[in-house]
Amino acid sequence: MALQKGILTVEVREGKLTHDTELLGSMSPYCTLVFNGKKLKTKIHNRGGKTPKWGDKFQLEVESHTEEIFLRVWDQDLTTSDAVGFCKVKMSSLMINKGVEDWFTITFDNKPAGEILLCS
């Protein structure tokens, strides 16, 4: 059975981060998702620290279960954003059982940097 094109809703719900970019104070994390050349961004959780909550939902036009989302977590600073971690998520892993609620591990410098809860 071939996959038909369709819309997949992905919610970036929350994070459990282990990589902290701040020496003093709390991080203000946000996520970016790159999918099919489009860059999407969650809101910034000001002083969300290592347990940010976003709840942002995105509608993705999926053409194949082999496509990937490139997810990055950033810490917003006054002038720049520091990378906290990233991961690639295969579309097929978000389409199981007509949607999932699952934790995806992010890495920084090839080491685990935390997890992000995605729901689809």
pLDDT digits 0-9 by tens, 43-69: 999 999 999 999 999 999 999 989 999
Distance CA 18, CA 49 (A): 10
The domain total for the chain is: 1
Does residue 79 lie in a domain region? yes
Does residue 14 lie in a domain region? yes
Q: What's the mean pLDDT in 55-84?
A: 96
Does residue 1 lie in a domain region? no
Residues 6 or more apart whose CB falls under 8 angstroms from that of 90 comprise 65, 66, 67, 68
Q: What's the mean pLDDT in 76-85?
A: 95
Does residue 58 lie in a domain region? yes
pLDDT at 98: 86
Q: Is the pLDDT of residue 1 over 80?
A: no
**CATH code for the domain of 110:** 2.60.40.150
Domain range enclosing 65: 6-119
Does residue 27 lie in a domain region? yes
Does residue 47 lie in a domain region? yes
